[in-house]
């Protein structure tokens, strides 16, 4: 066969024609599932383009169809901040929870009412709504309710990513970056691997953007998944190679996207479904339904299983239909997402610190499996807690092979009456760790005969395991228990804490076995020479890990607090403490009473914090981290004092603020909250279904505020005037 000739008449023109034609065929094949030519015909066009680009390298561009598989990332995956946080979604598991969410949405979308309401002696609890309406008539007339319709979409079980497009030479847009969700604030740059996904457009034409009235710069968010067929093919290949099988498509997709070899990523045939469009960091203002249509018009794959619904009944009908067909879709889903359609309503509803109020994920009912308990082992956590774990005969539940399940604690085993050899029902729902829910007793599943005696010594170090009065958990009392250190290191390095990528179980185990670390502070003393001596470590990988450790020094006070292992201090509490005190020195100097003034910190948490810092070893650890250069400061949250001396009592349901949010804002402004009404109460803040506290306020002539009145006081820096009922 002779060598293929390259037409020389006008190579630039032919290259442009081939690229347009190849992109059209890729869209037909990967997005519309309607190919016009055979694979051989596609390959012929691709080969012609490759030959032309090889002969004329000046014509090669990064967005060419030939460049979907490029070189390896130079130094692993860099972390990049998101243009807008990628929030989680709140979950619902029943129609009742869905109805409660719908009611909250409708309440929050109603007009906002205005000012403080002063009741005279003649007012009663019965006429309170009328008084509000009359008092705020001007604002009530001005405000209008917002429309409430929802877009129901399938909740695909994959990996969330954000794709950034910027202006391309000659017009249009080109893909410039792809980030994983990461911790929601920053993600990993996996652009090289994203480019291998055929359902991700590398370019968008100027004509398309003009037609859709989109700028050249925008962001698309969606889900990377591994289709069922590709997952099964992957496991067949791994089985033939004698490798461990992938657990489920979601984990396989995440692992694939983070593979450093793009050719491997390309061979796995990942897919991408788009569901959000952002311009200048803001959601596309035409609503979710139009957003999905716009994404499809841009050339993205958008899940066709979506519907506009207006009631809880329509939501549940869509959910039931999705559950019925989930096994036929060709990809994994674990629920349905409901999003408020109108952008204006979304803006009014806003978000909490972790999730938008205008969207919710309905999770499908947990799936069950019946299997046998072959053994029970006990794990030791970073706080010394001993957790029993059942080793099971492997059983396939909801797309995952389950061979282990938590048994929580000794009391749980006793309540179940669990014995070794028992047959049990195992539940797996959403991202929850598989758990044993009951023992099966029937003729087909005979009971086991051996009891399990919970150990009184630590299985890792042999030290005593004790259970404090009032607690259900046994704990190892040895401060130097190697299992506690191992779990502490893994926790310290985890994504939600110090975010040290690459410091996983295998590496931590080797560091411990070789005596290279005896506390989390020792991580900052590691050298390249020490790491190169570990299995699968070369100079480049050692340097990458050291760079990650160095970068973690700037994680901030909240993450350091979360990584120290203080009992009851999780991510949220650590953040609140950091915002309140601003530095480790300030936090260590406060009393338990001062700690309890912090939002969500009660006596148990304050005691744990004080006990932690009172231990000399812990104080030494903090000082070592400081000397290693770990930053232990944070920007203090501004807290006003203009409500100092005022006491508020909250009652009923407020339109937009939860009880906890209202309490936090009052305390942040220097005020106090109380649980009962007395003569010392300054204001009662009343919402819907306010009860006896409102009646008591009227009886004592204490001023009553609605939510808007409370917000007005929170925003005012001027001392509040006395109102009717104040002395």
- Residues assigned a catalytic role: 155
CA-wise closest residue to 265 among 173, 175, 195, 363: 195
Residue 438 β-bridge partners: 425
Terminal CA-CA length for the chain? 104
CB-CB contact of 41 with 49 (8 Å):
no
Residue 648 β-bridge partners: 673, 683
Structure tokens at 253: 């997709």
Rounded to an integer, what distance in angstroms lies between the CA atom of residue 727 and that of residue 723? Answer: 9
Q: State which H helix or E strand residue 308 sits in.
A: strand 306-309
CB-CB contact of 669 with 710 (8 Å):
no
Output b/e per residue, 38-56; b: 16+ Cβ within 10 A: eeeebeebbebbeebbeee
CA-wise closest residue to 91 among 367, 354, 302, 322: 354
- Map residue 205 onto helix, strand or coil: coil
DSSP 249-266: HHHHHHHHHT-S-HHHHH
Rounded to an integer, what distance in angstroms lies between the CA atom of residue 160 and that of residue 219? Answer: 13
Q: CA torsion 42→43→45→48, rounded to 10°? A: 180
Residue 413, number of CB atoms within 10 A of its CB: 20
**Beta strand residue intervals within 598-725, DSSP E:** 647-651, 672-674, 683-686, 704-705
Residue 179 β-bridge partners: 162, 189
393 conformational bin, left if phi > 0, alpha if psi -120 to 50, beta if neither = beta
């Amino acid at each position: 066969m002779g060598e293929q000739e390259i037409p020389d008449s006008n190579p630039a023109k032919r290259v442009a024609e081939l690229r347009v034609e190849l992109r059209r065929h890729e869209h037909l094949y990967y997005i519309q599932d309607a190919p016009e030519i055979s694979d051989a015909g596609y390959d012929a066009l691709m080969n012609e383009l490759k030959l032309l680009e090889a002969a004329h390298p000046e014509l090669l561009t990064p967005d060419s169809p030939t460049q979907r598989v490029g070189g390896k990332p130079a130094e692993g995956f860099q972390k990049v901040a998101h243009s807008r946080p990628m929030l989680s979604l709140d979950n619902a598991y029943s129609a009742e929870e869905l109805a409660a969410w719908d009611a909250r949405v409708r309440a929050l979308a109603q007009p906002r009412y205005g000012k403080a309401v002063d009741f005279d002696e003649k007012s009663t609890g019965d006429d309170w709504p009328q008084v509000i309406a009359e008092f705020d008539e001007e604002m009530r007339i001005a405000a209008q309710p917002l429309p409430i319709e929802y877009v129901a979409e399938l909740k695909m079980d994959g990996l969330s990513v954000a794709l950034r497009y910027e202006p391309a030479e000659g017009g249009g847009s080109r893909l410039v970056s792809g980030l994983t969700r990461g911790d929601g604030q920053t993600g990993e740059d996996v652009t090289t691997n994203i480019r291998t996904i055929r359902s991700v457009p590398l370019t968008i034409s100027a004509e398309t953007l003009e037609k859709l009235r989109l700028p050249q710069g925008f962001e698309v968010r969606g889900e990377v998944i591994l289709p069922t067929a590709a997952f099964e093919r992957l496991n067949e290949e791994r089985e033939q190679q004698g490798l461990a099988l992938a657990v489920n498509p979601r984990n396989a997709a995440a692992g694939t996207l983070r593979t450093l070899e793009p050719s491997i990523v390309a061979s796995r045939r990942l897919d991408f479904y788009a569901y959000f469009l952002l311009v200048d960091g803001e959601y596309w203002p035409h609503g979710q339904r139009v957003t999905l249509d716009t994404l499809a018009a841009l050339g993205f794959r958008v899940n066709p299983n979506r519907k506009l619904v207006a009631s809880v009944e329509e939501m549940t009908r869509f959910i039931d239909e999705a559950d019925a067909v989930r096994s036929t879709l060709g990809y994994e889903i674990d629920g349905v997402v409901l999003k408020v359609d109108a952008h204006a309503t979304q803006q009014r509803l806003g978000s909490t610190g972790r999730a938008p109020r205008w969207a919710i994920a309905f999770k499908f009912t947990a799936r069950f499996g019946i299997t046998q308990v072959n053994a029970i082992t006990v794990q030791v956590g970073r706080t010394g807690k001993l957790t029993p774990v059942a080793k099971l005969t492997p059983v396939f539940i909801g797309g995952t092979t389950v061979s282990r399940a938590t048994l929580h604690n000794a009391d749980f085993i006793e309540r179940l009456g669990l014995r070794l050899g028992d047959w049990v029902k195992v539940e797996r729902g959403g991202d929850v760790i598989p758990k044993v829910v009951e023992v099966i007793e029937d003729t087909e599943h005979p009971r086991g005969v051996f009891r399990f005696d919970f150990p009184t010594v630590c299985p890792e170090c042999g030290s005593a395991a004790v259970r404090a009065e009032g607690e259900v958990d046994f704990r190892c009392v040895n401060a130097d228990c190697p299992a506690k250190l191992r779990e502490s290191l893994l926790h310290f390095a985890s994504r939600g804490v110090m975010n040290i990528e690459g410091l996983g179980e295998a590496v931590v185990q080797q560091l411990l076995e070789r005596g290279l670390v005896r506390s989390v502070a020792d991580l900052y003393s590691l050298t390249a020479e020490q790491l190169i001596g570990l299995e699968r470590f070369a100079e480049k990988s050692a340097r990458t890990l050291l760079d990650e450790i160095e970068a973690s020094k700037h994680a901030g006070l909240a993450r350091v607090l979360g990584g120290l292992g203080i009992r009851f201090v999780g991510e949220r509490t650590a953040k609140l403490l950091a915002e309140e005190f601003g530095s480790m020195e300030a936090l260590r100097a406060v009393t338990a009473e001062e700690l309890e003034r912090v939002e969500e910190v009660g006596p148990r948490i304050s005691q744990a914090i004080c006990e932690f810092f009172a231990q000399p070893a812990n104080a030494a650890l903090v000082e070592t981290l400081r000397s290693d250069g770990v930053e232990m400061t944070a920007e203090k949250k501004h807290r006003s004092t203009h409500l100092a001396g005022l006491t508020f009592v909250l009652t009923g349901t407020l339109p937009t603020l939860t009880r906890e949010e209202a309490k936090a804002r009052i305390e942040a402004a220097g005020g106090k909250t109380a649980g009962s009404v007395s003569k010392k109460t300054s204001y009662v803040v009343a919402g819907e279904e306010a009860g006896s506290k409102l009646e008591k306020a009227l009886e004592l002539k204490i001023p009553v505020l609605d939510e808007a009145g409370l917000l007005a006081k929170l925003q005012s820096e001027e001392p509040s005037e006395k109102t009717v009922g104040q002395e």
